[in-house]
């Protein structure tokens, strides 16, 4: 990165930065919220949130199975999914220079949904020709791969239609077109194969129920890679806030930077969606909360958005399991209600002021 960029964009964590103390406080609060969320997730089961029930369960013979194979991976997985969505949301909002951008804008959601529907339809059609164990394997293992590949394929279609990532407006419009097209194809398949509709609905609503240790390892590796790459591109995102002409004058290859950002947010979104389905509003609200309570440049915003996303989805996961226990609500419904309610309140507050 050019020397002019470093000179034009000084580091934000200076001793005289008026917002530095706010960022430190928010970092502490997020850390506390994540720790509490992890503990609450371990203490939430069929009886709802109950630390005393957890202690009783730990005295039984199935403590290792209960915590090690069910609650622990689910709770840690919720944190990783939230972190991936929060980071991807911050990347999307920085790329489009729009606080209302979310990780699903480029066709990843519709692509993942179509991939899931194709696998479910294939399993239902092949039920009479292959063994039951094969159908179960397709539904459990194939769904994750299909959602991941579908999400990336949707973004690839968007990039192809937009002829690269040179113009953000064209990229945004291409994402809308691809989303509508793939969504329509998905609906047509569910009309022809009604058995796939239930599985599609479960995927669209989001769930952390099926997260295991293998999924956690994959998401953790992806999150570590994306955090490192995001840190490296933070100054470029800062430059984008100055406008395209200023960015080019600072020596940045605008098309290359945008393509890198698109690939990064696509990978993060695909990892999260393939493991937990479409979890709404986390990628939109997490960066907004960070900017509202502790503003800063993207070196801070990207990392903090990942932490905020983790704490938000941990809280939503506990609520989804505890609110109507022993039944569970889809976690995507909880995040949609909480996130939509927050944005509604914020809009009303700004309108009245």
Confidence band, pLDDT 50/70/90 cuts, at residue 327: confident
201: CB partners within 8 A, 6+ apart: none
Residues 284 and 11 sit within 8 Å (Cβ to Cβ): no
What pLDDT was estimated at residue 249?
Answer: 72
Cα distances (angstroms) measured from residue 240 to each of 112, 233, 237: 29, 11, 5
What pLDDT was estimated at residue 31?
Answer: 96
What pLDDT was estimated at residue 308?
Answer: 96
| Most confident segment among 7-11, 201-205, 314-318 | 314-318
Confidence band, pLDDT 50/70/90 cuts, at residue 334: very high
Cα distances (angstroms) measured from residue 267 to each of 1, 41, 207: 23, 27, 19
Percent of the chain with pLDDT over 70: 84
| Most confident segment among 70-74, 209-213, 305-309 | 305-309
Mean pLDDT computed over 137-157: 79
CB neighbour class for 9 (10 Å; exposed up to 12, middle 13-18, buried from 19): buried
Among 34-43, 108-117, 136-145, 243-252, whose mean pLDDT is lowest? 136-145
Whether 15 shows a pLDDT value over 70: the answer reads no
Mean pLDDT computed over 249-273: 87
Among 69-83, 137-151, 162-176, whose mean pLDDT is lowest? 137-151
What pLDDT was estimated at residue 263?
Answer: 92
Cα distances (angstroms) measured from residue 288 to each of 66, 223, 268, 279, 292: 36, 20, 18, 17, 6
Q: Is the dihedral of CA 260, 263, 266, 271 positive or negative?
A: negative
Mean pLDDT computed over 340-348: 85
Whether 160 shows a pLDDT value over 50: the answer reads yes
* Mean pLDDT taken over the chain: 83
Per-residue burial over 61-74, b if 16 or more Cβ lie within 10 Å, else e, is eeeeebbeebbbbb
What DSSP letter does each residue of 265-315 carry, written as one string?
A: HHHHHHHHHHHH----SHHHHHHHHHHHHS---HHHHHHHHHHHHHHHHHH
Q: Distance between CA 112 and CA 132 in Å, rounded?
A: 25
- Say which CATH topology domain 3-352 has: ABC transporter involved in vitamin B12 uptake, BtuC (1.10.3470)
As a whole number of angstroms, the longest Cα–Cα distance in the chain is 70
Mean pLDDT computed over 202-217: 86
What pLDDT was estimated at residue 227?
Answer: 95
Percent of the chain with pLDDT over 90: 41
Whether 90 shows a pLDDT value over 90: the answer reads yes
Confidence band, pLDDT 50/70/90 cuts, at residue 81: very high
Mean pLDDT computed over 162-181: 88
What pLDDT was estimated at residue 177?
Answer: 94
Q: Distance between CA 326 and CA 108 in Å, rounded?
A: 33
pLDDT tens digits for range 37-51: 999 988 887 777 776
Whether 59 shows a pLDDT value over 70: the answer reads no
Whether 211 shows a pLDDT value over 60: the answer reads yes
Q: Where are the alpha helices (DSSP H) in 129-212?
A: 132-137, 143-161, 168-192, 195-205
Q: Distance between CA 74 and CA 219 in Å, rounded?
A: 13
Q: Distance between CA 277 and CA 204 in Å, rounded?
A: 6
Whether 10 shows a pLDDT value over 50: the answer reads no
Q: Which residue ranges make up each domain of the chain?
A: 3-352
pLDDT tens digits for range 252-262: 788 888 899 99
Whether 61 shows a pLDDT value over 80: the answer reads no
Q: Report if pTM > 0.85.
A: yes
What pLDDT was estimated at residue 125?
Answer: 67
SS3 48: strand
Of 226 and 116, the structure prediction assigns the larger pLDDT to 226
What pLDDT was estimated at residue 133?
Answer: 45
Q: Distance between CA 192 and CA 82 in Å, rounded?
A: 34
Mean pLDDT computed over 263-280: 91
Q: Which residues pair with 45 in a beta bridge?
A: 48
């Amino acid at each position: 990165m050019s020397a002019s960029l470093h000179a034009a964009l000084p580091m934000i964590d200076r001793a005289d930065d008026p917002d530095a103390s706010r960022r430190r406080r928010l970092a502490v609060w997020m850390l506390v919220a994540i720790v509490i969320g992890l503990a609450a997730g371990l203490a939430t089961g069929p009886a709802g949130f109950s630390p005393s029930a957890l202690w009783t369960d730990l005295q039984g013979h199935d403590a290792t199975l209960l915590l090690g194979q069910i609650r622990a991976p689910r709770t840690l997985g919720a944190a990783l999914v939230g972190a991936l969505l929060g980071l991807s949301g911050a990347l999307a909002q920085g790329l489009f220079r729009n606080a209302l951008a979310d990780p699903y804008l480029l066709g990843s959601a519709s692509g993942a949904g179509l991939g899931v529907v194709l696998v479910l339809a294939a399993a239902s059609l092949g039920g009479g020709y292959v063994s039951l164990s094969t159908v179960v394997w397709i539904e459990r293992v194939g769904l994750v791969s299909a959602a991941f590949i579908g999400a990336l394929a949707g973004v690839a279609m968007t990039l192809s239609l937009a002829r690269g990532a040179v113009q953000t407006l064209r990229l945004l419009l291409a994402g809308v077109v691809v989303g509508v097209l793939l969504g329509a194809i998905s609906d047509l398949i569910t009309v022809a194969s009604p058995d796939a509709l239930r599985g599609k609905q479960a995927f669209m609503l989001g769930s952390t129920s099926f997260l295991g240790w293998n999924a956690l390892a994959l998401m953790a590796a992806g999150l570590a890679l994306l955090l490192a790459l995001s840190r490296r591109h933070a100054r470029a995102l800062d430059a984008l806030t100055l406008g395209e002409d200023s960015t080019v004058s600072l020596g940045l290859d605008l098309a290359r930077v945008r393509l890198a950002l698109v690939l990064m947010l696509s990978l993060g979104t695909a990892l999260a969606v393939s493991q937990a389905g479409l979890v709404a509003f986390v990628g939109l609200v997490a960066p907004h909360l960070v900017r509202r309570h502790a503003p800063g440049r993207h070196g801070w915003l990207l990392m903090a958005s990942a932490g905020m996303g983790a704490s938000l989805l941990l809280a939503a996961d506990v609520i989804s399991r505890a609110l109507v226990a022993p039944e569970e609500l889809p976690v995507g419904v909880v995040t949609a209600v909480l996130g939509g309610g927050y944005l509604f309140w914020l809009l009303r507050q700004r309108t009245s002021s």
